Amino acid sequence: MSKNNRLVHFGIGAFHRGHQAYYLKLLNEQLQEADRWYYTDVNLRDDTRHIPDALKKQQGIYHFKRIAPDGAAQYIQIDSIDRVEDASADPSVIERIFNDSAVKALTITVTEAGYYLTDSDDLNLDNHEVSHDVAVIRQGSGQPKTLFGYLALALLTRKKMHDGAITVATCDNLRDNGKRLEKAFFQFVNAAEFNTLSNWISDNVTFPCSMVDRITPVPPQSLAAEVKQYTGIDDACPIMGEDFEQWVIEDKLATAFPPLEKVGVTFTNKVHAFEEAKIRILNGGHFLLSYVGALRGYQTYDENVRDAELNEWLKQYHQNEVIPTIYDRPFDLEAYREIIISRFSNAYIADSIERIAMDSISKFPQFILPTVKLNLERNHIPTAAMRLIAHWYCFLALNISGRFTFNYKDPYLAAAQRWMEHADPIDAFLKDPNIWQGLNQRYPLFAESLATQIMQTLDEYQERYP
């Protein structure tokens, strides 16, 4: 491990390795060795230990297959991660990692569900994993289960240092992600009754918002053999992704940070405008169309885009309901939409619908609800959104009933199961406050129209999924 300035990352997934670590690799190519930055990557979950195990054996080095829409590929060796640890096996490693003045920032990718937020953007302190971590931190021993527990261990360590100031940058697809993490984390610390830590954080820690973008699908099993063929190197944990990348970071840093503007990263005080466009146009469209594709038997997202009917549905959703309700525009939104469709159609990426469809219950209020709300506020009925939302409901209903087989994963699936156990499942869905945040009560005609659309869509799948 080098003695250079360092970043730490929580959540060792393909996206981090194809995005933050990739950008750092590009930056290091422009810097002298003494000025380079390196990552310490930390695994937090015992069910993902195979990733740190494989990376450790390779000293953090792996290959990234970067693929253009025409299939042209680069096999890039990423060497910006030079320390890999598994906190899910040994939480004491957090203190050893963060008790180092060379560590300047922490980046995070734990997916939307990993923030345990309620519909009011508060931390769900009633969640059993969150309450478990509150007890762990309060008593000073035990194994955390959530981001908040591990982050508390990290910042308690930094608090003891003379130069412990640090930037904590979430890179997940949440609007105002830094502000929301900061609010939730302060609620966690207060629940653990660590008032002195709260005061120290206020003076020494920043939580910048960020927007990140790159499609990094689950790689096929054949990728390792392909990397071996093209590079001559055995790699047990290669990744793949598209040739588009974007990173926008709020210019709100607690201490030194790598000069990533040299490799195309945008530092700005208007992250919200970038993330609003990205989350609603890209993530929202990605999300909704995946359930239609799944019900039609498609395996990869590019199949959705090649389906002329679904392509038109997505176009109507974007042009009639999303773009007209994005008021702060950092770039040409129609041109951006066309770029996204080109990216979605990349058959060489073959992004699995299974990957995109997971965690829908926590994603819906982030990706879709704002578009519905803004359209209703301008007295426009979002018919394209309704059609796609109806397919999402049908996907869940048919999967839960066993009529439609799909490897669907969602930590909040119990909520959908409760809808289906209700005497009127559609009504239970439409009245769920965590999904709709009261919107259907404010616009009852919309709720009635959506209920009708859901029943019609269920009828359409009766023959296919009896």
- Domain chopping of the chain, boundaries: 5-268, 272-460
Give a three-class secondary structure readout of 98-146: HCCCCEEEEEECCCHHHHCECCCCCECCCCHHHHHHHHHHHHCCCCCCC
What confidence score (pLDDT) does residue 456 get? 97
- Find out if CATH 3.40.50.720 is the number for domain 5-268: yes
257 contacts 24 by C-beta, under 8 angstroms: no
Check residue 94 and give left, alpha or beta (phi > 0: left; psi -120 to 50: alpha): alpha
Question: Which residues does residue 40 pair with via DSSP β-bridges, in sequence order?
Answer: 8, 83
DSSP type of residue 300: B
249 contacts 266 by C-beta, under 8 angstroms: yes
Tens-binned pLDDT, residue by residue, of the chain (466 aa): 667 899 999 999 999 999 999 999 999 999 999 999 999 999 999 989 998 999 999 999 999 999 998 999 999 999 999 999 999 999 999 999 999 999 999 999 999 889 999 878 899 999 999 999 999 999 999 999 999 999 999 999 999 999 999 999 999 989 899 999 999 999 999 999 998 999 999 999 999 999 999 999 989 999 999 999 999 999 999 999 999 999 999 999 999 999 999 999 999 999 999 999 999 999 999 999 999 999 999 999 999 999 999 999 999 999 999 999 999 998 899 999 999 999 999 999 989 999 999 999 999 999 999 999 999 999 999 999 999 999 999 999 999 999 999 999 999 999 999 999 999 999 999 999 999 999 999 999 999 999 999 999 999 999 999 9
What confidence score (pLDDT) does residue 1 get? 65
What confidence score (pLDDT) does residue 350 get? 86
What confidence score (pLDDT) does residue 120 get? 85
Q: Which residues of 205-225 are buried (b: 16+ CB within 10 A; e: fewer)?
A: bbbbbbbbbbbbbebeeebbe
What confidence score (pLDDT) does residue 4 get? 86
Residue 300 to residue 279: CA distance in whole angstroms: 20
- Helix-, strand-, coil-residue percentages of the chain, each rounded to 5: 50, 15, 35
Which CATH number among 1.10.3720.10, 3.10.129.10, 1.10.1040.10, 3.30.590.10 corresponds to the domain 272-460? 1.10.1040.10
